[in-house]
Chain A
Amino acid sequence: MTTTVTAGSMAGTRSGESGLERQRARAAFWFLVPMLAMLAFVAAWPLLRSIMLSLTDADANTIFSGSYEWVGFDNYLRAQERADGTIRWRGVLVDASWWNAVWNTIRFAVMSVTLETILGLLVALVLHAEFRGRGLVRAAILIPWAIPTIVSARMWGWMFNDQYGIINHMLLSVGLIDAPIAWTARPDTAMIAVLIVDVWKTTPFMALLILAGLQMIPKEMYEAAKLDGIHPVRVFFRVTLPLLKPALMVAVIFRLLDALRIFDLIYVLTPRSSSTVTMSVISFQNIREFGDYAEGSAQSTILFLIILVFVTLYIWLGRVDLSGERSR
């Protein structure tokens, strides 16, 4: 994000625009160069290259030799004339399985982020309270976040197993269900299973970010509210939530970005189930299993654009203050 020189400091220097000031700006630029070069190398170049590949017919046999050709926007949309003269549209933009993946991803992102925000907020409020052993509990709650996704996905895969999984066993023994449920196999429960694991894994992360926000709220606010005899629920909605909003919005952006490009959890837990397949999974499948780098790149480019749209909308709607200007 761009940073502008704040008005206050401008006012101070405007009168005496000195050589020293310009020198400092130049020095700052040189300090930034390594970082900018790094970003260009690890972020901008791969992004540009995958956009470039999406405009070619690259596949597994030509990708390394560079003998692929430009095809323009054919991977996205192209008209094709059938033998009987009728026109048929082809390409990613009219591919039903791609739109199914888009829909799955958005569904997953919205549901998981909503659940994680609400649960994360609850956990953060509990952890914000003073009690014995708070440090220990704060550390312990981070464990699910610390476990690599592949490991937790495998672990939950075993727990969800229909024959020997502990979840079915527990539900059966308390009588909630009368036959084991094949959680990851059934199209109607596969997404639920994925959501359960993701919420379990990521709620601690949300809780931690929100907790940091809670600790920024001055204690005097609560003391004043207490003296005025305001009901705690009212305090939460009138004091805590508004003051927490900046931190909350940033936390939600992080999660939304993460959720929109979800890959590993779904690839391990419910591989190739059409009810959970996401944009990243389908693009991976095209590139890796079919060796179709062109179409896979087209899909990752659209994925990039979709994330861009989501984040822009979100920042614009929520007026998120990413530069930290207004809160100063």
Chain B
Amino acid sequence: MTNGLKTAARRSSALAILVALGASAAAAQGVQVTIVSGAVGNAVANFDALVAPWEERTGNDAVLVPMPASTTDQFGQYRLWLAAQNGDIDVYQTDVIWAPQLAEHFVDLTEAATAAGLIEANFPSIIESQTVDGKLVAIPIFTDAPALYYRTDLLEKYGASVPTTWEELTATAQMIQDAEREAGNSEIWGFVWQGNAYEGLTCDALEWIKSFGGGQIIEPDGTISVNNPQAAAALEMAASWVGTISPEGVLAYQEEESRGVWQTGNAVFMRNWPYAYALSNSPDSAVAGKFDVAPLPAGPGPDGRSAATLGGWNVAVSRYSDNQEAAIDLALYLGSAEAQKQRAINEGNLPTIQALYEDPDVLAANPYFARWQEVFLNAVPRPSAPAGEDYNEVSTAFFTAVHNVLSGNTDAASALADLEVDLEDILE
């Protein structure tokens, strides 16, 4: 090495040290708050824009750690981190069903949320779902209730009306699928949904069963109600879709796979959460401007009704966080009307703050929000409260049984009879 090079190297390393010092000095003004969240839709892409106002105001830095889209996978990881009292993650984005299972690891946010006025601004039922033994475990940031997405252009073309019962949906989907395939559109499918064996299938199947008047797996009083003829009929109906109006691959679909089929214009109907609305209307979507949403269809008979599984996400602050104060502040911001409005407009997430349903900007971006009150009236909670700590096992037993019926391994009646015994085992 020549002398000149050596000097240059020395000079550049000195420069690097200076730069590093400068960077740490800048960071010392605020703290870094890490938040983990599942990567669904454009949540990751929108995150920086979402937290920019908070970062500017506080001088802190919010860092998103993206996690797998499957809530089941997220939960496993989070519980491990929390049980090990990991201090690296400050804020957790939590599913509506996790509150009873993870309550002890999170900070009580009652005081902070009350001071920020979030308690009275939110829907009371949502606040209630996040309260365990009087402790507010997490602050709601958006709520979720699925809808039936339908192609307005195809329904119009074949003179069909929006189905209000599952029977109508099956008939319409079959008719349009057959006619479109006849016309050379060989890729078209009637109805896509979530049939993979995971938490999402629990949501889909709960809707079928509830809409048939078959109860909600475990009733709020703890009775296991799932083994009944209506529930069996509901599952048999869903099983009949696989390979007829729904591709066989639906048995491996989660939300994003079904959106993939839908958004490329290859499905007449889709069951999905509201996040798909904004994405389906994006410029590169094949169905932009050609679709609308309606409440999910109802089951047959006098007990038939429309049912939508109540979803939704919240933010909780870890008890083991090193930056609790800043973390709570970030949680309050993410739950505030300001952040929820940004999310509603850019990600199509349903706000939990009631006033936002009358906000002109939100309604301009999501005209269908006004109709969502109807869907909320039909919302069914998953049995996370009666199942408590065992919810995951209950849900896994349920979606495994449903998946077996859908893939034709067993008939619905015997699968449900076995499931009843399994659930008794888990809950005792």
A residues at B contact (CB < 8 Å): 60-61, 63-64, 90, 97, 161-163, 180-182, 184-187, 270-275, 285, 288-292
Q: Say yes or no: B198 contacts A186, CB within 8 Å.
A: no
Q: A90-B425, A163-B261 are in contact. Are A289 and B248 (CB under 8 A)?
A: no
Q: Say yes or no: B248 contacts A182, CB within 8 Å.
A: yes
Q: Say yes or no: B80 contacts A60, CB within 8 Å.
A: yes
Q: Say yes or no: A289 contacts B249, CB within 8 Å.
A: no
Dominant SS among interface residues on chain A: loop
Q: A162-B248, A289-B75, A290-B392 are in contact. Are A274 and B83 (CB under 8 A)?
A: no
Neighbouring B residues of A290 by C-beta, 8 Å: 392-393, 396
Asked if B104 CB lies within 8 Å of chain A CBs, one says yes
Identify which of residues 388-408 in chain B touch chain A, using a CB-to-CB cut-off of 8 Å: 392-393, 396, 400, 403-404, 407-408
**A61 and chain B: residue at smallest CB distance:** B83
Minimum CB–CB distance from A78 to chain B (whole Å) comes to 12
**A187 and chain B: residue at smallest CB distance:** B407
Neighbouring A residues of B79 by C-beta, 8 Å: 60, 288, 291
Q: A163-B247, A185-B251, A186-B251 are in contact. Are A289 and B197 (CB under 8 A)?
A: no
**B261 and chain A: residue at smallest CB distance:** A163
Q: Say yes or no: A289 contacts B72, CB within 8 Å.
A: yes
**B401 and chain A: residue at smallest CB distance:** A274
Q: Say yes or no: B198 contacts A271, CB within 8 Å.
A: yes
Asked if B172 CB lies within 8 Å of chain A CBs, one says no
Q: Say yes or no: A64 contacts B85, CB within 8 Å.
A: yes
Asked if B134 CB lies within 8 Å of chain A CBs, one says no
> 7 A-B contacts, Cβ less than 8 Å apart?
A64-B83, A162-B252, A185-B407, A274-B400, A285-B396, A290-B396, A291-B392
Closest 4 CB pairs of A and B: A162-B249, A182-B249, A185-B252, A185-B251
A186 to B104, CA, bound (A): 40
B residues at A contact (CB < 8 Å): 72, 75-77, 79-80, 83-85, 104, 187, 195-198, 247-252, 260-261, 266, 392-393, 396, 400, 403-404, 407-409, 425
A97 to B196, CA, bound (A): 18
Dominant SS among interface residues on chain B: helix
A10 to B418, CA, bound (A): 65
Neighbouring A residues of B85 by C-beta, 8 Å: 64
Q: Say yes or no: B83 contacts A182, CB within 8 Å.
A: no
A97 to B408, CA, bound (A): 17
Q: A60-B83, A63-B83 are in contact. Are A288 and B76 (CB under 8 A)?
A: yes
A90 to B260, CA, bound (A): 43
Neighbouring B residues of A163 by C-beta, 8 Å: 187, 247, 249, 260-261, 266
Minimum CB–CB distance from A285 to chain B (whole Å) comes to 8
Minimum CB–CB distance from B12 to chain A (whole Å) comes to 35
A163 to B252, CA, bound (A): 12
Minimum CB–CB distance from A62 to chain B (whole Å) comes to 9
A162 to B415, CA, bound (A): 27
Minimum CB–CB distance from A262 to chain B (whole Å) comes to 18
Q: A64-B83, A163-B266, A274-B403 are in contact. Are A182 and B252 (CB under 8 A)?
A: yes
Minimum CB–CB distance from A271 to chain B (whole Å) comes to 7
Q: A60-B83, A61-B104, A272-B198 are in contact. Are A185 and B76 (CB under 8 A)?
A: no
**A272 and chain B: residue at smallest CB distance:** B197
Minimum CB–CB distance from A184 to chain B (whole Å) comes to 5
Q: A61-B104, A290-B396 are in contact. Are A187 and B408 (CB under 8 A)?
A: yes
Contacts A163-B247, A182-B248, A291-B79 known; 9 new A-B pairs at CB < 8 A: A60-B80, A61-B104, A182-B252, A185-B195, A186-B407, A274-B400, A274-B409, A289-B75, A290-B393
Q: Say yes or no: B197 contacts A273, CB within 8 Å.
A: yes
A324 to B247, CA, bound (A): 55
Neighbouring B residues of A271 by C-beta, 8 Å: 196-198
**A168 and chain B: residue at smallest CB distance:** B249
Most buried by A among B249, B260, B409: B249
A292 to B396, CA, bound (A): 14
Minimum CB–CB distance from B263 to chain A (whole Å) comes to 12
A181 to B249, CA, bound (A): 8
Q: A60-B80, A274-B403, A289-B396 are in contact. Are A162 and B247 (CB under 8 A)?
A: yes
A101 to B31, CA, bound (A): 47
Minimum CB–CB distance from B266 to chain A (whole Å) comes to 7
Q: Say yes or no: B76 contacts A184, CB within 8 Å.
A: no
Most buried by B among A97, A181, A187: A187
**B251 and chain A: residue at smallest CB distance:** A185
Neighbouring B residues of A90 by C-beta, 8 Å: 425
Neighbouring B residues of A97 by C-beta, 8 Å: 400
Q: Say yes or no: A180 contacts B409, CB within 8 Å.
A: no
A289 to B78, CA, bound (A): 10
**B395 and chain A: residue at smallest CB distance:** A289
Most buried by A among B77, B195, B196, B407: B407
Minimum CB–CB distance from A162 to chain B (whole Å) comes to 3
Minimum CB–CB distance from A294 to chain B (whole Å) comes to 13
A64 to B81, CA, bound (A): 11
Neighbouring B residues of A273 by C-beta, 8 Å: 197, 403
A292 to B251, CA, bound (A): 27
Neighbouring B residues of A289 by C-beta, 8 Å: 72, 75-76, 392, 396
Q: Say yes or no: B72 contacts A186, CB within 8 Å.
A: no
Minimum CB–CB distance from B45 to chain A (whole Å) comes to 21
Neighbouring B residues of A60 by C-beta, 8 Å: 79-80, 83
Neighbouring A residues of B251 by C-beta, 8 Å: 182, 185-186
Neighbouring B residues of A184 by C-beta, 8 Å: 252
**A161 and chain B: residue at smallest CB distance:** B249
A192 to B198, CA, bound (A): 22
Minimum CB–CB distance from A69 to chain B (whole Å) comes to 17
Minimum CB–CB distance from A60 to chain B (whole Å) comes to 5
A275 to B260, CA, bound (A): 26
Neighbouring A residues of B407 by C-beta, 8 Å: 185-187
A162 to B249, CA, bound (A): 6
Neighbouring A residues of B104 by C-beta, 8 Å: 61
Neighbouring B residues of A272 by C-beta, 8 Å: 196-198, 396, 400, 403
